[in-house]
Amino acid sequence: MTSKPFKTPAIPRRTVLAGLAAAGATAAMPMRLSAQEQITLRWWSPQSSPEQLAAYQTQIRNFEALHENVKVVFEKTSDEGYAPQLAAAFASGDVPNVVTHLPSFAVSNYWRNGLLAPFNDVIDMIGQDKFYPGANDIYEVDAGTYAGTSIGNSAANVIWLRTDLMEKAGIDKNPRTWDELLDACQKMQGGGIYGAALPYGRNSMTSLIFIGVIHQAGGQVFAPDLSVAIDSPETRDALEFYRAMREFCPPGATNYTWGDSLTAFVAGACATGIYTGRVLTNVAEQNPGIADHITCDLYPTKSVDIEPWTFNDFPSVMIPAQAPNMEATKQFAAFLFDPEGYIQQLHAAPGHVLPVLKSINDDPAYQDNPIIQKYSAEVELMSQAAANGFNLGWESRDHQPNTMAGEIVNSGVIAELVQRVILNDENVDQVLGETTARIEDIMAG
């Protein structure tokens, strides 16, 4: 389907340019779309809490007010089920116009398969210099061309701590090493409270969290040249640590995914948690009794000689190459960063998705939030950690981009590694050998 030509009459009210300029951005794009017929843009995202939906409606309403011939429809997808949903859409050609909040490695995978439109125009509309330095590096799969950008940053594997339980147990500092964490969990467990809320299910959370644990052991899944490096002493150490942590997790952790792990800490069932800053909003709303007794820190590593490794899934924005009405689509993608709606979206779960635009982070309207103010130290820690974070699609700055990372995570092979060794007590050498072979097969296509 070919987009209709658009006219850009002058208008007296706030525009995309004015909105972005309020955050110090620039835009080189038409200000209003006009066509002979109505068009509909479809927006997909797995992030859809009531507060987020309210922010989306603000963004949609403001965009539609500027473009009377455009209707935007939001459609919810699933964290665990987006891959088959998008596969069906790409196969049929009935694709959404904009997809947000998928991890960056999913963007790289779809780009590798020729399914996405270049995002350079949208980044230029927003203003390349308004992003944090290096924020778009992970999306430059092919030199000079961006596959997408981030709607925000996330620090998805910080450790959440109950300071009241730490004090009661005589723990006077946050655990920095695995041994300190194991000792803390043992001291805090009891009276119906477990030490931790780690996942052991066959799902993406277990895969993604355990990738972080491998790095916290000083290891990596791939070498910088993308040869498979998971069969290593560091991975064996990671498995032993994860096995030791199992006794401090609830019985249901064998099936935990993101929501289960989050709820276990927020409800007060666990002394430590592992999640993004969504913990802050959920505690305020669901268990305010512990709101003055929580903090977060970088997740401990095997030893102080190993630097923490923060998992940032880089919640993304991408445009399918088959999307109709491409000009309108790009303008809507850029409008997602308009300060009014973007700040409301970030405030939907303060600390969960962190600003990717430095101008927004410094905006008084963003800072004027009770949770961000109450937990300013925690939000700042997460912001710094996320800005320097990585994921399987980009394990370090020395690594080449891994466009197969999404397929590896979706295959469940790393979660199966955890289950086979820790839950089923299978031979670690055999399982790591088979895991390596399976990953190599995925990489070979």
Q: What is the Cα–Cα distance from 274 to 270, expressed in whole angstroms?
A: 10
Q: For residues 182 and 244, is the Cβ–Cβ distance under 8 A? A: yes
pLDDT digits (tens, 9 = 90+) for 112-149: 999 999 999 999 999 998 998 888 988 998 999 999 99
| Co-location of 273 and 420 in the same domain | yes
Write out the E strands in 87-189. 98-100, 149-150, 158-162
| Co-location of 202 and 239 in the same domain | yes
| Co-location of 136 and 241 in the same domain | no
Instruction: Give the whole-number percent of the chain exceeding pLDDT 70.
Output: 92
Res. 367: pLDDT tops 60: yes
Res. 247: pLDDT tops 90: yes
Average pLDDT, the chain: 91
Residue 122 domain flag: yes
Residue 400 domain flag: no
pTM: 0.82
| Co-location of 143 and 169 in the same domain | no
Q: What is the Cα–Cα distance from 82 to 117, expressed in whole angstroms?
A: 19
pLDDT for residue 32: 53
Burial 156-179 (b: 16+ CB within 10 A, else e): bbbbbbbeebbeebebeebbebbe
Instruction: Give the whole-number percent of the chain exceeding pLDDT 90.
Output: 80
Residue 177 domain flag: yes
Nearest CA-CA partner of 59 in 360, 364, 334, 363: 334
Q: For residues 97 and 43, is the Cβ–Cβ distance under 8 A? A: yes
| Co-location of 170 and 86 in the same domain | no
Q: For residues 392 and 211, is the Cβ–Cβ distance under 8 A? A: yes
Give the contacts of 168 (CB within 8 A, at least 6 positions apart). Answer: 188
CATH number at residue 258: 3.40.190.10
Q: How many domains, the chain?
A: 2
Nearest CA-CA partner of 418 in 261, 262, 203: 203
| Co-location of 421 and 279 in the same domain | yes
Residue 53 domain flag: yes
By three-state DSSP, how is residue 78 classified? Answer: coil
| Co-location of 227 and 255 in the same domain | yes
| Co-location of 111 and 231 in the same domain | no
Nearest CA-CA partner of 183 in 198, 172, 192: 172
Q: What is the Cα–Cα distance from 121 to 140, expressed in whole angstroms?
A: 14
pLDDT digits (tens, 9 = 90+) for 48-89: 889 999 999 999 999 999 999 999 999 998 877 788 999 999
Q: What is the Cα–Cα distance from 183 to 196, expressed in whole angstroms?
A: 12
**Structure tokens given for 250:** 């609830």
**Structure tokens given for 161:** 């701590």
pLDDT bin (cut points 50, 70, 90) of residue 17 is very low
Range of the domain at 323: 16-153+313-387
